[in-house]
Structure 1
Amino acid sequence: MNWSEKITDFSNFLKFEKSFSDNTLDAYIRDIKKLESFATTELENVSPQNITYENLQEFIYQLSKKKISERSQARGISSIKAFFKFLLEEEYRTDNPATLLEGPKLGLYLPDTLSEEDINRIINCIDSNTDIGKRNQCILEVLYGCGLRVSELVDLKISNINFKENFIIVEGKGEKTRLVPLARSTAEFIKDYIQTVRSKSKINKKHEDILFLNSRGTNMSRVIVFIIIKELTQKAGINKSISPHTFRHSFATHLLQNGADLRFIQEMLGHSSITTTQVYTHLKTEELRDVILNFHPRNRNIAS
């Protein structure tokens, strides 16, 4: 049994039987390949069939010394657990050396968000008189207006936009599709971009249905969207670590703050479990706490 063969089998299992998204699949396989490298160089080429619990503990210890974030360590351990569970179930091993592995204790993860004012400041930094500026403004309006993941944004198809009924069909994680309502203002930005910018582009035939295109007429990469947002954030003078996902978090937070039901937000975001969406209730709880501390008459009396 060699690593390359079993990693390929594991990858196919995750893709075809577990319906992992490409990004999640890549992360899991990347984690296992790190373990393979460790087993090859540090453990005298020990095979996945013979690696032990102690070996895995040593690997995790070495990872922790490399200043890898606790969240990345936790995901790495999940990848290892899934890999050896797969080997056990497929009878490549008679035991599971990863059963007793424990990941770092993670605190509650509260995503960074932007205020409506911050979002307006970022968008107002865009020169909308240029074709690239119009495209970039449309990108941010769709990210914030529809709460899309960046992978969903760059793969968004024109054929999946229904301007008559004002909704878009989003192809999300695990090849799951969902309908997301399209605000009238967001729809207008998309129409304007298509008519005044995209219509002038020389489009690669394979990407004729993709909404957002780069200068070569092909779909944009996730990295380029990150760079665009980073540059605009710096230009706006906002000192936060902002990514495309921040607009998605802000979309959900602002909906909740304005009275939207959590189940509705879950559907909009494409979360398979309500527990994933419930993190936003903690954001609202923090906001309510601040309101009480700042404005409740008893607290005002103490402060005075």
Structure 2
Amino acid sequence: MTEDDIKAIAKAAYTSRDKAFVLSLYESGCRIEEILPLRMKHLSFDRLGATLMVRGKKGERRIRLVASVLTLQKWKEDHPSKNDPESFLWCKIPLPNNPKWENNFLSYGFISRLLKELAEKAGVKKAVNPHAFRHSRATFMARHLKEPEMREFFGWDKDSDMPATYVHLSGRDIDNSVMRIYGYKDASKSQEPVIKTWNCHLISTVNYLIFLCGPGSNILSPVPVLPFRAHQIPYLRRGKEFKYNKQQKQDKQIKSRRRKAFAQRNKSSNQRRNHRSDNPGCMHERPFFGGGLHVGEVINLQCWFNPRRTIL
């Protein structure tokens, strides 16, 4: 499977648990028996992303996760026992009508059926099973990691020939040799991951899916990440949200000036309307019939003129 297939399967996921599991299963490259029994205490987050402590054939090893961090955070928030460090990370989701919920991890059969169902929904016609994710990840990482690094990442023994097998499948050495003939230094640099993240220099952390910088940073979104500029997107710093959008600032300034001008016009209009109240000769202050006006007296015509009001 390619990373495009992984993205399509993750987009077809129903819940935050399924989406986080699909991305974590691929990015970690774990064996299915290593990732299923994980507990909440085995998952931790830091400034660079997340880490998983898994126990495999060689013992415990630490795996760095980057692209699947926010899906893991979302699932951790939705987890039914998120405050219990001993609860299983990949557990069943309790149903509203089922009060007898138990915190048990998912079975291999359930995961196999789930992945096949999501692949069918996403239109992926390749053979999809839990081990295919590990195989695809190893084939991809063989282009970027050395053999000792691959043994450490995937939990292989020091004498294992699996790294050499995947390097052979990836064709890394042959591609580099052929490309050097034609003047290219390294062919592996052109093999960039499809599932990307963006290192945000504004908050000094890795920007993952959608939480910090809008839909463009979502790996499941067709909108690319790089065209978004720092001043065009909202971001978080020191617990407060700042919006650096120059166009929005200009619009706010224009609207503020318009509001002030409108208020000034209303104030002037109200002053003109109330001029008759301030003028002592205005009929608004004097009664119509017999209340101080005498025959032949001329009132101040600068006040507002009402044709129904006559000069006596």
User: Could you state the TM-score of these two structures normalised by the residue count of structure 1?
Assistant: 0.50
User: Could you state the TM-score of these two structures normalised by the residue count of structure 2?
Assistant: 0.49
Which structure dedicates a bigger proportion of its chain to strand?
A: 2
Which structure dedicates a bigger proportion of its chain to helix?
A: 1
